[in-house]
Chain A
Amino acid sequence: MLSRVAENIFWMQKYRERAENMARLIDVSFNLNIEIPNGQHQWLPLLQVFGAQESFSKYYKVIDMNSVLHFLTFDTRNPISIFSCLSMSRENARSVREIITSDMWHELNILYIFLQQSNSKIDNHHAFYTRIKRQCQLFTGISDTTLSHGLAWHFGRVGYLLERADMTSRLLDIKYFTLLPSPDFIGSPFDNIQWNALLNSMSALEMYRQKWHFIKPANVVEFLVLDKEFPRSIFSCIVRAKESLLAIMNITRNANANKPFEIITAIIEKLDGMNGESIVNYGLHEFLDELQKEFIAVNDGISEVYFSFKELVTQA
Chain B
Amino acid sequence: MTNFFNYDTSEKYDEYFQSNGEVRDYAKDLVSNIASLSKKDLSEKQKAAELAFFNMGITFTVNGEGSGVERIFPFDMLPRIIANDEWQMMQKGLKQRIHALNLFIDDIYSDQKILKDKVIPREIVEGGASFIKQCVGLLPPKRIWAHVTGTDLVRAADGELYVLEDNLRCPSGVSYVLENRLVMKRIFPKLFETMAISHVDDYPSKLFETLAWTSKIEDPTIVVLTPGVYNSAYFEHSFLAQQMGVPLVEGRDLIVEDDFVYMKTVHGLEKVDVIYRRIDDLFLDPLVFRADSMLGVPGLMKAYVKGNVSLANAPGTGVADDKVIYKFVPEMIKYYLGEESILSNVPTYLCCDERDRNYVLNNLENLVVKAANEAGGYGMLMGPSSTKTQRKEFAELIKANPRNYLAQPVLSLSRVPTIINNQIEGRHVDLRPYILYGEEIYIVPGGLTRVALKKGSLVVNSSQGGGSKDTWVRAV
Contact = CB atoms under 8 A, between A and B. Distances in A.
A285 interface: no
Nearest to B244: A98
Contact of B238 (A4, A98, A109, A253): A98
B57 A3 contact: no
B264 A309 contact: yes
B267 A97 contact: no
B267 A314 contact: yes
B20 interface: no
A282 B272 CA distance: 54
B248 interface: yes
Contact of B269 (A109, A253, A314): A314
Contacts of B264: 2-4, 309, 312
Contacts of A6: 266
B263 interface: yes
Nearest to B267: A252
11 contacts: A1-B247, A1-B266, A3-B266, A94-B234, A98-B238, A98-B242, A109-B56, A110-B55, A252-B266, A252-B267, A254-B266
Question: Which of B54, B234, B265, B268 has the most A CB atoms < 10 Å from its CB?
Answer: B265
A94 B249 CA distance: 13
Given A94-B57, A97-B242, A98-B241, A2 B249 contact: yes
Given A94-B57, A94-B229, A98-B242, A248 B248 contact: no
Interface in B240-295: 241-242, 246-250, 252-253, 263-269
B265 A95 contact: no
A5 interface: yes
B104 interface: no
A148 to B, nearest CB: 12
Interface of B: 54-57, 224, 228-229, 234-235, 238-239, 241-242, 246-250, 252-253, 263-269
A1 B57 contact: no
B266 A306 contact: yes
* Chain A, interface SS category: helix
Contacts of B238: 94-95, 97-98
A20 to B, nearest CB: 20
Interface in A300-316: 306, 309, 312-314
A105 interface: yes
Contacts of A253: 267
Contacts of A110: 55
Contacts of B229: 91, 94-95
A101 B297 CA distance: 29
A314 B247 contact: no
A204 B215 CA distance: 57
A113 interface: yes
Contact of A106 (B55, B228, B249, B269): B55
Contacts of B247: 1-2, 5, 98
A151 interface: yes
* Chain B, interface SS category: mixed
Contacts of A313: 268
Which 8 pairs from chain A and chain B are nearest by CB?
Answer: A314-B268, A98-B242, A98-B241, A309-B264, A97-B238, A109-B57, A98-B248, A98-B238
A309 B252 CA distance: 11
Interface in A1-16: 1-6
A6 B268 CA distance: 13
Contacts of A151: 266
A198 B88 CA distance: 69
Nearest to A248: B266
B242 A2 contact: no
Contacts of B250: 4
Contacts of A2: 247, 249, 253, 263-266
Q: Interface size bucket, A side? A: 20 to 34
Contacts of B57: 94, 105-106, 109
A255 to B, nearest CB: 9
Given A4-B253, A98-B238, A98-B242, A113 B266 contact: no
A158 B246 CA distance: 24
A3 B265 contact: yes
Contacts of B56: 102, 105-106, 109
A313 B252 CA distance: 18
A90 B229 CA distance: 12
Interface string A101-136: 010011001100100000000000000000000000
Contacts of B265: 1-3
Contacts of A97: 235, 238-239, 242
Contacts of B54: 113
Nearest to A3: B264
B267 A1 contact: yes
Interface string A231-265: 00000000000000000100111100000000000
Given A98-B239, A110-B55, A251-B267, 15 more contacts: A2-B249, A2-B263, A2-B266, A3-B253, A6-B266, A94-B57, A95-B228, A95-B229, A95-B238, A97-B242, A98-B238, A98-B246, A102-B56, A314-B267, A314-B269
A312 B262 CA distance: 14
Contacts of B241: 98
A98 B244 CA distance: 9
Nearest to B52: A106
Given A97-B239, A98-B241, A312 B249 contact: no
B111 to A, nearest CB: 41
Question: Which of B234, B242, B267, B269 has the most A CB atoms < 10 Å from its CB?
Answer: B267
B242 to A, nearest CB: 4
A105 B238 CA distance: 12
A67 B415 CA distance: 53
Nearest to A94: B229
Given A4-B250, A98-B248, A105-B57, A254 B242 contact: no
B62 to A, nearest CB: 16
Contacts of A306: 266
A254 B270 CA distance: 13
Nearest to B247: A2
Given A94-B229, A106-B56, A113-B55, A4 B267 contact: no
Contact of B252 (A4, A94, A248): A4
Contacts of A314: 267-269
A4 to B, nearest CB: 6
Interface in A148-187: 151
Contacts of B235: 97
B350 to A, nearest CB: 42
A308 to B, nearest CB: 10
A105 B239 CA distance: 12
Given A2-B253, A91-B229, A94-B229, A254 B267 contact: yes
A1 B221 CA distance: 13
B391 to A, nearest CB: 42
Question: Which of B54, B263, B268 has the most A CB atoms < 10 Å from its CB?
Answer: B268
Nearest to B237: A98
